[in-house]
Amino acid sequence: MSAVGLIDAGGANLGSVRYALERLGVAVRMVREPAALEGVQRVILPGVGAAAEGMRRLHAQGLVQPLRGLQLPLMGICLGMQLLFERSEEGEVECLGLLPGVVRRMHPAVGVRVPHMGWNKLLALRESPLLDGVPPGASAYFVHSYAAPVTSDTVAACHHGGLFTAVVQRGRLCGAQFHPERSAGPGARLLRNFIENDFS
């Protein structure tokens, strides 16, 4: 397989995602400009931080339109998944608009802390190649204050003061709100499933 393109959107998880992919034997190509997308067979958009800054960086690198027109399997991780949606309340920013829905701030309550940080169980809502081999009720590691709504594209949800999308897939578009690179076996399996399955 050709290299997986790893978008450098300025997220602190960039290095850890790269190492997780390399542990799976995947060749990684860092992408900081559109030309670097040529020849890759998969693209991953990681991210940690604010939606407005993530979109600003993608615009500055000239990657917004190439990502919107991409005909390859694309996976967003954490903030990267949120950027796949239409808009984020975080800064009231227009995102990539590849998936319908608005990312909204999570609200603290009794026993519900925001940011949502730590391990939480995945609730599978429908079948998807992304979850092949991931045990029912597996836990994953989350760090976020904003979340995408549960829609018909939601593969797995998570509960933290209400249900939100933890894993999403619409055709070739995939996403994980949690950090697969920090989620032990289930996270590694999800990454491998994204690399090895045909999402065309």
Contacts of 173 (CB under 8 A, 6+ apart): 73, 74, 84, 98, 99, 153
Q: Which amino acid is at 192?
A: R
The yes-or-no answer on residue 179 being catalytic is: yes
Q: Is 159 a catalytic residue?
A: no
**Four-point Cα dihedral 191, 80, 116, 131, nearest 10:** -30
Among the listed residues 33, 116, 179, 196, the single catalytic one is 179
In this structure, the chain runs to a length of: 200
Q: What angle, 0 to 180 degrees and rounded to 10, lies between the N-to-C axes of helices 14-23 and 184-196?
A: 70
Say which DSSP state 148 is in.
P
H helices of 24-139, in order, are 51-60, 64-68, 79-82
The set of residues, in sequence order, having a beta carbon less than 8 Å from that of 109 and lying 6+ positions away, is 161
Given the residues 116, 144, 160, 181, the one annotated as active site:
181
Which residues are registered as beta bridge partners of 165?
A: 157
* Active-site annotation holder among 53, 59, 78, 90: 78
Closest CA to 178 of 80, 103, 78: 78
Task: Report the catalytic residues.
Answer: 78, 179, 181
